[in-house]
Structure 1
Amino acid sequence: MTARVLSSVRVFLIALIAISTTAFAAPKAELWPYWQQSNEANTLPINHQIWQDLLNRYLSQQDSQTLVNYRNFSDDDKWQLDRYLRDMSKLNPLEYRKAEQFAYWVNLYNALTVKLIVDNYPLKSITKLGGVFSFGPWNDDVVTINGKTLTLNDIEHRILRPIWQDNRIHYAVNCASLGCPNLQPHAFTASNSDHLLNLAAKQFINSAKGVEVQANEVTLSSIYDWYASDFGNESQLEQHLNQYRTTPIKLQNVDYDYDWALNEAK
């Protein structure tokens, strides 16, 4: 292969990598019908205590950011995280009521994300995971439930979003990035989910990474751009934001931004 051809191939590969790491296309909500089933007569709770113990040990609050101490995960706690995920994968979530299922899927998503970072630490961003031309690990197989292999995108966009149709879900699932809504310090449960969703929405919308107002310009998290279909038109989005804002805003001269740096406690 000539030097000119090699140079052309190199330029092509660099261009593909640049495209894959700068252009983030958010998946649409597309229902996986199998996961709609539930048993509303079952009032038994799912035990998330192991996940709660890990949150207690490895989360820290710094200003408006809740950060994760990935660096200091002990071998025992790595085993505990694996144990929690094994326990969750052995359950049949369809045997539980919908409220219990919601907490199950959110906690599972967040625990799987933390495991991805811990298993691949150190790294600067979750977007560095996945295949050569992938933007992050969201389409990688990460867990098997009821004999069905799932990705993180399956959990968020084929189960959570289409079944519950609640835009506050975007404040609950965490992508291990500084621009993401905070990983909540409490495991979700059937009884606290609505409270945690409202709390997470309020935290994010009143933080600079969610909504930043400067003079006559407003910079919003790219979440509101990527998932515009969940938040509605500009008027509906403004109403949603002001529902949680301590200081109401008027959307004008809107720009979007997102920080993919790792949400790591240092």
Structure 2
Amino acid sequence: MSKSGLVIMRALSVALSFLLIAVAVVVSVRPVHAAPDADLWPDWQAHDPSSTVEIDHGDWQAVLDRYVTQHAPGVTSFDYAAASRDGGAGMVAGYVDAMTKVSVNALNRDQQFAYWVNLYNALTVKVVLDHYPVDSIRDIDISPGLFSSLLSSGPWGKKLITVEGRTLSLDDIEHRILRPIWRDARIHYVVNCASIGCPALAPEAFDADKLEAQLDQAAREFINHPRAVRINADGGFVLSSLYDWYRDDFGKSDAAFIAHLRKFAGPELTKALGDITELDIADYEYDWALNTR
């Protein structure tokens, strides 16, 4: 290599080193899982209010019945090991494949909501099973893009399925469809990320005929569990990082956020909240360990 070529190579090496240092600094100060904005893809606004078509989620319910254990209200685990060895992975894959063939645009809104939530949860389980054994879903580092493993490890950005001719990732389902169309904070309590810190994987498939009850139940069960809200020894609130990543969804002001918590709070949390109008937040926490037995 010529002398000028060596000079150029050294300059590029130095520049790359500075770039990597800059990225490392950014990573050190940003959240582990920075939340995408809710950004509607207009194509998914299509629906048929008069539709009476009902999607059968019985195959997903069969998976939940077989592999999900409820340990306490709002606390469940999924037996990935058993599903990996006894045909459960095939059951999940079969359900996901069947859902990709549904004409979603022809459904009414409630059917669509149940469809997307059940598909999201099944697809999350499928991703884990496809890479099992893993200690955390964040170990499944398949999202595309330069520095994606540094900035946001995990599978959420990977295009995994095709629905109505459009390729979709988990992020697309949550942030391009569910959040911007329905604008309901309770969505965060029903989409599962296969982690202990996440709201529980519901043992019951979501049903268009009882969505309000299911959404309220999921909100109550998470909010009243210590992994969502607890008081530390100094009297400060320790909250789930969910409330940091998606704060605006739960209420932009302290008063609005506290009102959200109060709406679903049980006696213990109601007492802890008292008549406060501002939260003394000591910390945010999240356990990314796999939600397995």
Normalized against structure 2, the TM-score is what? 0.83
Q: Is the 8 A contact 1:216 1:252 kept in 2?
A: no
CA shift for structure 1 position 119 = 1.1
Residue 158 of structure 1: SS of its match in structure 2? helix
Report the equivalent of 1:40.
Answer: 49
Q: Is the 8 A contact 1:130 1:140 kept in 2?
A: no
Q: What is the percent sequence identity of the aligned residues?
A: 43
Structure-2 separation of matches of 1:181 and 1:152: 16
Report the equivalent of 1:259.
Answer: 287
Q: Is the 8 A contact 2:196 2:287 kept in 1?
A: yes
**Gaps in structure 1 of 5+ consecutive residues:** none
Report the equivalent of 2:263.
Answer: 243
CA shift for structure 1 position 253 = 2.1
Instruction: Between 202-211 and 70-79, report the one with greater CA deviation.
Output: 70-79
Matched, 1:191 2:206: no
Report the equivalent of 2:134.
Answer: 123
CA shift for structure 1 position 62 = 2.4
**Gaps in structure 2 of 5+ consecutive residues:** 1-8, 143-148
Q: 1:216 aligns with which of 225, 230, 235?
A: 235
Q: 2:115 aligns with which of 104, 107, 120?
A: 104
Q: Is the 8 A contact 2:254 2:279 kept in 1?
A: no
Label 1:17 to 1:87 Cα distance change in 2 as closer, same or farther (>3 A): farther
Q: Is the 8 A contact 2:190 2:199 kept in 1?
A: yes
Instruction: Between 185-194 and 16-25, report the one with greater CA deviation.
Output: 16-25
Structure-1 separation of matches of 2:231 and 2:244: 17
Label 1:45 to 1:17 Cα distance change in 2 as closer, same or farther (>3 A): farther
Report the equivalent of 2:98.
Answer: 87
CA-based RMSD: 2.4
Q: 1:228 aligns with which of 232, 247, 257?
A: 247
CA shift for structure 1 position 75 = 4.4
Structure-2 separation of matches of 1:95 and 1:44: 8
Normalized against structure 1, the TM-score is what? 0.91
CA shift for structure 1 position 33 = 0.5
Q: Which has the larger radius of gyration?
A: 2
Report the equivalent of 2:146.
Answer: none
Structure-2 separation of matches of 1:210 and 1:158: 25
Structure-2 separation of matches of 1:162 and 1:198: 19
Structure-2 separation of matches of 1:235 and 1:112: 36
Structure-2 separation of matches of 1:85 and 1:16: 37
Structure-2 separation of matches of 1:59 and 1:41: 35
Report the equivalent of 1:136.
Answer: 154
CA shift for structure 1 position 142 = 1.1
